[in-house]
Amino acid sequence: MQPLTYFLAALISFTGIIAGAVLAFVTKEEMKPGIKYFMLLQKALLAATAAVFVYYSGLQLPVRIVIYAAVILLLALSRSINSSIAYALLGGVFYFSSFSRQPFLIISALIFLYGLPTGSIIAAGVIRKPKSAAVKKALLTGAWFVAVAALLGLIL
């Protein structure tokens, strides 16, 4: 894959978190009752991303089933998701999926979609502060994705 294409795809995938933060400010009154659904959506999108990544990894079916079960169990048992860690892991998934076009497109879209509820949750935590505070916090959280994806893209 061309480096420019890779880095532009990473930046576009990253913009989901900014769009989510902006969305939270547009729909302030809907944020409080919607937080639990955003958290559920985060988990569903992480599970979908893991499933696509594992499916296209070429692992044998029994191994894939064990990984699917482990991801579902891990997400089901977790109360909330540390978005910085999730974005760092998504940066690695983004890089390793870039070797094949089909999973790369799907995973890029899923990372963008993951950013929507994540940005909304982050912005909901600072909704009474200036909008710049929410965008700054969202950018710092999502920066792990860009950092890992860029480092892996440059080093490997």
Report the C-alpha gap between 154 and 132 in whole angstroms.
30
Q: Kindly state the greatest CA–CA separation across the chain.
A: 50
pLDDT at site 69: 97
Measure Cα distances from 134 to 66, 92, 107, 117, 126 in Å. Answer: 38, 25, 25, 13, 6
Provide CB contacts within 8 A for 63, sequence distance 6+: none
Average pLDDT estimate for 81-90: 95
Provide φ and ψ at 127, rounded to 5°.
-65, -30
Q: Which residue in this structure is represented by tokens 């502060």?
A: 129
The share of the chain scoring above pLDDT 90, in percent, equals 79
Q: Which residue, chain included where needed, has tokens 């998504």?
A: 90
Digit-coded pLDDT (tens) for 96-120: 999 999 999 999 999 999 999 999 9
3 state SS for 98-120: CCCHHHHHHHHHHHHHHHHHHHH
* pLDDT score for 28: 85
pLDDT, tens digit (0-9, with 9 covering 90-100), for 124-134: 888 778 878 88
Tokens describing residue 80: 């909330």
Q: Mean pLDDT, to the nearest integer, of 59-67?
A: 97
**CA gap 97, 64 in Å, rounded:** 16
Dihedral pair phi/psi, residue 57, rounded to 5°: -75, -15
Mean pLDDT, residues 12-22 taken together: 94
Cβ neighbourhood burial of 24 (10 Å; 0-12, 13-18, 19+): buried
